[in-house]
Chains A and B, each alone.
Chain A
Amino acid sequence: MKKMLVVLLAALMLVLSVTAYADDEPIHLTLWTFQELHLSLYREMLDKWNADPANPKLDIDMQVMDYEDMHNKLTIALQTGEGAPDITEIEISMYANYLKGDIQLAALNEYVEPIEDHLVMSRLNNYARDGKYYGIDHHIGATVMFYNTEILEEAGINYKDIKTWDDFHEAGKTVLEKTGKPMTTWESSDCWSIYPIVSQHGGDWLTWDNEVVMDSDVVIDTLAFMKSMLEDGTAIPAPGGFHHAEEYWGWMNAGGCATVSMPFWYLNRFTDYMPDLAGKMKVVPLPTWADGKGHKSSQMGGTGVSVVATSPNADVAKAFIAFATLTFDGNVNTWKLLGFDPILMDVYGAPEMMEPNKFFDYYGDEIFDEMATVLDDIPDTAITDMYPTATDIVKSQMAYDLCYSDKSAEEIAKECADQLRSMID
């Protein structure tokens, strides 16, 4: 009797499992992110993926966690080999932590290499080790300048006349004199003021061999320039310490300051948190350096989308993220839904990109007119395993000293560089 029951049960399970894997049952994947915004892109691209009968049906459980939480959970999941998702997003300053030891992320070369010439490769290099690409970014994060035209007009300045950083400083003096408002703000507790401008000027914190170049002449020159603006009041430390502080948003929204330089992804911070400036803000590439050094822009921040190598569905997960982030369609949607500057160069100038959206409403139609001209001149940044330590020093030491200490640019750079050197084995 018991034997019969066991056989029956086994038969039942067999039937059930066969039906479970029959054609219509979708493959279940888990995706972790700390940025809820990105989900709209995945949802849109998942619908498109499933609409194509050639693709295996997917069902993705998208989980949004707090930034620290998600990275901690991921570290622990990968270290213990238990509970990791299939697809995960990893923030750029944390990425190097996951490229230590046995890399537990899947290489995406089969999707990246065929279209190398069409991608802004400096972005992909951030997430690469030994020629293998482990992550794909949603955006370039080209640093741009946001101008409040209302304040500039009050001071009689046309933002289009500002070509170099010296022009920018001179214009700042006029703005301060005519309106009493500062030209710009520097962050005192984050890296988005110093790092983009240093990188654009041709500097960096480390080389790919972990050699510290934080106190190079370029870094010192850049810091000296930023300090000179603080000294004459054309720049002030950002209220709240950084450009994502509630205090800063309220103050900027009320017309506290004429400009801010931030990476392109800051577009949606204006539309979401500073609605009163709609129609007044213009977004253009950064001023350039009069000494002829450096580049037109710099690529900053970002999130690498990666596949966990041990996932049983790694192959289909790779195919899906390539579909969502490397295709023409995916990149157009990256702009339309997320407001990012896509990494696929083909989309710039395409009519699909010009369809009206909230960003064109806010900044006007000419967003991409000049943007396209900087794509070919964006420097690499060295994202080594010491990168998290380097950015931490920039955030907590360099930015603070720049804004609040009496130290000279050279002293600041030297102290920070020595600190970083002492942390490298």
Chain B
Amino acid sequence: MKLSSSAKKQESVFGHKAVPYLFIAPFIIFFIIVYLYPFFQTILMSFQRIDGPNHITWIGTSNYTKLFKDRNFSQSLMTTFRYAIWDVIILTTVPLIVACILNSGYVKFSAFFKSVFFIPALTSTIVAGIVFRLAFGTLDTSIANRVLALFGKPPRDWLMHADSANFVLILLTLWRWMGVNIVYYISGLQAIPPELYEAAQIDGANALQKFFYVSLPGVKPVLIYVITITVLGGFAMFTESVALFTQKYAGGIGRTIVGYMYQVGFYKSNLGMASAVGIVLLIIVLTVNLIQLIAMGFFRKEN
């Protein structure tokens, strides 16, 4: 009697309908506090001038108009776009090719190579940045300038010119993240049934045709995922450029949009304008990702 009443009570508190909500509650609470609230707060702050806890003035769209007048903002936007485009091109294709080669079965010690490509992902970005900064240093004695000298080319200031600095930045990202993308691709490639390759073989397909008609369609879902996170990563890139340029950004070189946001928010202590930068960045990334997902047929219903 006693038992059944307590069981009944329990059911009324944790009824069948309530249980699922209870289980997802930790995530929802976390999401609301850590993502949703800051998100709306950022929108609000982007219309304010914040001079301290009790000095908040509503200034309308003035943060945005000032932002679009700032040369550094447009320059950082350009830097980010240029970086993101190259980042997507290089960081999706090169690892795919390497993954196909590693997965083809023609390479000996492929497990060894997989780990070699993956190790840079485990290093600290700051350390990698310092190593790259010194390797591409100004002096004639830096590694990159030594290599140039081997080919009889004059030394150059790698990080002081926009094009070569962008190249170094892409190289650093490629070196660091290639292994991760290779792992994604290999998992996608291994999911392709070997019979398909055999059938292609019987039909007389060569290696290139096998790649385009079997491997590529097979890894398409992985490819979409990799492109999506690479686009996101490209636009949100910050640590790599900070590590390489130590927040100096001479001539605006290497200053990405997130680097600009950080400088405005913390260095110039203008949180309102930094929020506006964040909102602009959100709109850009959202648009680019939506276009890309629609183009790749992500939202099309499965037949």
Contacts and interface: CB of A to CB of B under 8 A. Distances in A.
B154 interface: no
Interface stretch (A23-31, A73-81, A266-274, A362-370): A73-81
B134 A246 contact: yes
A250 B268 CA distance: 32
A104 B51 CA distance: 12
Given A241-B250, A397-B251, 5 more contacts: A100-B51, A101-B52, A239-B139, A396-B72, A400-B253
16 contacts: A68-B266, A75-B266, A101-B52, A189-B248, A240-B138, A241-B138, A247-B134, A247-B138, A250-B139, A251-B139, A396-B72, A396-B248, A419-B70, A419-B71, A422-B70, A425-B66
Interface in A57-97: 68, 71-72, 75, 78-81, 94, 97
A34 to B, nearest CB: 14
Nearest to B54: A102
B123 to A, nearest CB: 19
B243 to A, nearest CB: 13
A75 B62 CA distance: 23
A240 B251 contact: no
B139 A101 contact: no
Interface string A364-395: 00000000000000000000000011001001
Contacts of A102: 52-55
Interface string A241-265: 1100011001100000000000000
Contact of B137 (A72, A239, A399): A239
B267 interface: yes
Interface in B254-270: 255, 263, 266-269
B162 to A, nearest CB: 10
A333 interface: no
Contacts of A4: none
Given A72-B266, A100-B269, A251-B139, A80 B251 contact: no
Interface of A: 68, 71-72, 75, 78-81, 94, 97, 100-102, 104, 188-190, 237, 239-242, 246-247, 250-251, 388-389, 392, 395-397, 399-401, 403-405, 419, 422-423, 425
B160 interface: yes
Count chain A CB atoms within 10 A of each CB in B62, B251, B263, B266 and give the residue with the most: B251
A188 B139 contact: no
Interface in B13-52: 51-52
A188 B66 CA distance: 27
Given A241-B160, A392-B267, A422-B69, A101 B248 contact: no
A405 B160 CA distance: 11
Nearest to B51: A101
B158 to A, nearest CB: 11
Contacts of A389: 268
Given A79-B52, A100-B55, A419-B71, A396 B139 contact: no
A247 B55 contact: no
State the 5 A-B residue pairs at the shortest beta-carbon distance, nearest first.
Answer: A189-B250, A400-B251, A101-B52, A101-B55, A101-B51
Count chain A CB atoms within 10 A of each CB in B53, B69, B252 and give the residue with the most: B53
A78 B250 CA distance: 31
B250 A101 contact: no
B49 to A, nearest CB: 9
A101 B52 CA distance: 6
Interface in B137-173: 137-139, 142, 157, 159-161
A242 B133 CA distance: 14
A66 to B, nearest CB: 11
A178 B248 CA distance: 35
Contacts of A240: 137-138
A241 B69 contact: no
A61 to B, nearest CB: 25
B55 A242 contact: no
Nearest to B273: A423
Contact of A97 (B53, B139, B268): B268
A242 B251 CA distance: 13
A425 B62 CA distance: 9
A420 to B, nearest CB: 11
Contact of A395 (B51, B161, B250): B250
Interface in B113-135: 134
A94 B247 CA distance: 15
Contact of B268 (A242, A388, A396): A388
B81 interface: no
B116 to A, nearest CB: 28
Count chain B CB atoms within 10 A of each CB in A189, A239, A425 and give the residue with the most: A189
A303 to B, nearest CB: 16
A79 B69 contact: no
Contacts of A241: 138, 159-160, 248, 250
B249 A396 contact: yes
Contact of A423 (B66, B137, B252, B263): B66
A396 B138 contact: no
B250 A396 contact: yes
